[in-house]
């Protein structure tokens, strides 16, 4: 089942080392969960979870009741979650409850419109990883940033493989990113030469949880291995050439780094569908939002209206055209996602009513 490469039973930790805090402890005592143990989900594989506790690692499943009452994916544990569980000598455990999440990073489930997939939970900061060679694409950076802003998770952009381009090329790339994306730190590194590693190391704090997001082959697992001081995740070049699109990392995993930071590695993502239900887009494109305050119409779509300040800025060169196009594209996607969720809810409601009516009829028939 799991291709386990890390965190053996000898590797027992204090819960605080895994990011546990007083808020979680308060919830535990307020909700009579003290009879259970507490642990953190560090890996997941088809509804089986690896949980780290103060007693070591356990392979866990959820209770039947949890599965029965689950309404959506969000009701199942995810990597990063804190859970109340019962552990057994055999190394098996049962999860009874998920403790409240401080953050959830979500995307649209690939190929299932209107469905959400949880990438990770309880994240303090996301590392958006992109290589400066052929993977480089600022639209995609904005997309990841929107995913993080929707979750109210802080982000840092990590540009990898700088050993593959020239010094002026590196400066130009960083400048291009900064011209479009303000207020997000950008760190340029090479996993080969370890240039830029000091900046990464000083970003990652002990007891805080970080999650790497990015395409396949950009060097996420290589970075994790180097920062952990051990070879924990398999890395490869397969996805780069002969076997395009094949992910080397096949599951999510939370790993404790040498400096005490907690880092979640993810399989590379090909599609990052927006599920923004909050103001993630607005945060990412705050310049467009502030320009739109001066549009003549309140419900301006910024596409063809007279008196549109966004279009005016675009014409005068005060707004990046690619950024504007990306904003509109993700806005359409967001609207589409919201309408498909609404449609799904409507269908579920109708189906719920059919079931209810059926039972009502059934009871009536039994009565007479
Ligand atoms: N030249 C160069 N190669 C790198 C760098 N970082 C990673 N690589 C190489 O790129 C390939 C892919 O690296 P991985 O760390 O497996 O990439 P990943 O992002 O984990 O990929 P997935 O697990 O598929 O998502 C490996 O062969 C690495 O050796 C870098 O900074 N410079
Ligand atoms: Mg990987
Ligand atoms: Zn407008």
Ligand 1 atom closest to Cα of 246? 24
Task: Quote the ligand 3 centre to 297 CA distance (angstroms).
Answer: 7
Check residue 364 and give its pLDDT: 63
Tell me, using a 6 A CB cutoff, whether residue 219 lines ligand 1: yes
Whether residue 276 has pLDDT greater than 80: no
Task: Quote the ligand 2 centre to 215 CA distance (angstroms).
Answer: 9
Tell me, using a 6 A CB cutoff, whether residue 236 lines ligand 1: yes
Task: Quote the ligand 1 centre to 223 CA distance (angstroms).
Answer: 8
How sure is the predictor about 263, in pLDDT bands with cuts at 50, 70 and 90? Answer: very high
Task: Quote the ligand 1 centre to 311 CA distance (angstroms).
Answer: 40
Whether residue 242 has pLDDT greater than 50: no
* Average pLDDT for 289-297: 93
* Average pLDDT for 192-216: 96
- Residue to substitute in 159, 163, 190, 191 for testing ligand 1 pocket (most ligand atoms within 8 angstroms of CB): 191
Task: Quote the ligand 1 centre to 186 CA distance (angstroms).
Answer: 19
Q: Looking at 205-209, 221-225, 277-281, which range is the least confident one?
A: 277-281
Check residue 366 and give its pLDDT: 57
Check residue 189 and give its pLDDT: 98
Tell me, using a 6 A CB cutoff, whether residue 221 lines ligand 1: yes
Residue list, CB under 5 A from ion ligand 3:
295, 300, 302, 308, 310
Check residue 341 and give its pLDDT: 77
Check residue 215 and give its pLDDT: 92
Ligand 1 atom closest to Cα of 239? 24
Q: Looking at 61-65, 74-78, 324-328, 345-349, which range is the least confident one?
A: 345-349
Strands 262-265 and 253-256: antiparallel
Whether residue 239 has pLDDT greater than 60: no
Q: Which of 178, 201, 175, 174 is nearest to 188 (CA)?
A: 174
- pTM higher than 0.75, yes or no? yes
Which residues, including other chains, have CB under 8 Å from residue 333's CB and lie 6 or more apart? 273, 274
How sure is the predictor about 164, in pLDDT bands with cuts at 50, 70 and 90? Answer: very high
pLDDT, the chain, mean: 87
Q: Looking at 14-28, 224-238, 261-275, 321-335, which range is the least confident one?
A: 224-238
Tell me, using a 6 A CB cutoff, whether residue 216 lines ligand 1: yes
pLDDT, tens digit, for every residue of 52-92? 999 999 999 999 999 999 988 899 999 999 999 999 999 99
* Average pLDDT for 241-262: 75
Nearest-CA residue for atom 23 of ligand 1:
249
How many residues does the structure list for the chain?
Answer: 368
Angle at 176 between CA 175 and CA 181, to 5 degrees: 95
Whether residue 112 has pLDDT greater than 70: no
- Residue to substitute in 235, 241, 247, 268 for testing ligand 1 pocket (most ligand atoms within 8 angstroms of CB): 235
Whether residue 357 has pLDDT greater than 80: no
Tell me, using a 6 A CB cutoff, whether residue 164 lines ligand 1: yes
Check residue 365 and give its pLDDT: 62
Q: Which of 9, 36, 40, 20 is nearest to 254 (CA)?
A: 40
* Average pLDDT for 212-239: 84
Tokens 């009871």 belong to residue: 363
Per cent of the chain over pLDDT 90 is 64
Tell me, using a 6 A CB cutoff, whether residue 235 lines ligand 1: yes
Q: Looking at 10-14, 197-201, 334-338, 350-354, which range is the least confident one?
A: 10-14
Q: Which of 190, 244, 194 is nearest to 217 (CA)?
A: 244
Check residue 147 and give its pLDDT: 92
Tokens 């579920």 belong to residue: 348
Nearest-CA residue for atom 32 of ligand 1:
161
- Most confident region among 172-176, 285-289, 330-334 by mean pLDDT: 172-176
Task: Quote the ligand 3 centre to 323 CA distance (angstroms).
Answer: 15
DSSP string, 26-48: HHHHHTT-TTSEEEEEEEEETTE
* Average pLDDT for 169-183: 94
**Helix, strand, or coil here: 188?**
strand
d(Cα 97, Cα 95) in Å, to the nearest integer? 6
Residues 1 and 42 sit within 8 Å (Cβ to Cβ): no
How sure is the predictor about 229, in pLDDT bands with cuts at 50, 70 and 90? Answer: confident
Check residue 13 and give its pLDDT: 72
């Amino acid at each position: 089942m799991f291709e386990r490469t890390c965190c053996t039973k000898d590797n027992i930790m204090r819960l605080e080392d895994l990011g546990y805090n007083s808020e979680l402890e308060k919830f535990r005592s307020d909700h009579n969960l003290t009879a259970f143990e507490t642990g953190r989900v560090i890996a997941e594989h088809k509804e089986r979870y690896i949980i780290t506790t103060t007693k070591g690692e356990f392979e866990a499943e959820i209770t039947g009741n949890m599965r029965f009452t689950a309404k959506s994916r969000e009701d199942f544990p995810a990597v990063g979650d804190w859970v109340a569980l019962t552990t057994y000598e055999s190394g098996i455990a049962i999860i009874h409850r998920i403790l409240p999440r401080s953050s959830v990073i979500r995307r649209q489930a690939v190929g299932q419109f209107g469905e959400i997939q949880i990438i990770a939970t309880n994240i303090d900061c996301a590392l958006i990883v992109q290589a400066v060679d052929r993977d480089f694409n600022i639209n995609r950076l904005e997309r990841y940033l929107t995913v993080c802003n929707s979750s109210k998770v802080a982000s840092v952009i990590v540009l990898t493989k700088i050993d593959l381009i020239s010094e002026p090329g590196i400066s130009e790339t960083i400048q291009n990113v900064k011209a479009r994306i303000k207020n997000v730190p950008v760190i340029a590194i090479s996993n080969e030469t370890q240039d830029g590693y000091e900046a990464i190391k000083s970003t990652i704090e002990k007891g805080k949880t970080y999650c790497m997001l990015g395409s396949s082959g950009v060097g996420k697992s290589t970075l994790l291995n180097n920062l952990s001081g051990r070879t924990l995740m398999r890395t490869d070049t397969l996805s780069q050439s002969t076997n395009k699109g094949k992910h080397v990392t096949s599951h999510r995993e939370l790993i404790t780094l040498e400096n005490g930071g907690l880092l979640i590695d993810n399989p590379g993502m090909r599609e990052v569908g927006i599920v923004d239900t909050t103001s993630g887009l607005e945060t990412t494109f705050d310049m467009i939002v502030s320009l739109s305050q001066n549009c003549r119409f309140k419900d301006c779509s910024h596409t063809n209206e007279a008196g549109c300040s966004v279009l005016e800025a675009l014409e005068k060169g005060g707004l990046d055209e690619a950024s504007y196009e990306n904003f509109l594209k993700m806005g359409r996607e967001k609207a589409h996602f919201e309408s498909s969720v609404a449609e799904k809810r409507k269908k579920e409601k109708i189906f719920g009513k059919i079931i209810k009516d059926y039972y009502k009829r059934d009871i009536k028939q039994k009565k007479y």
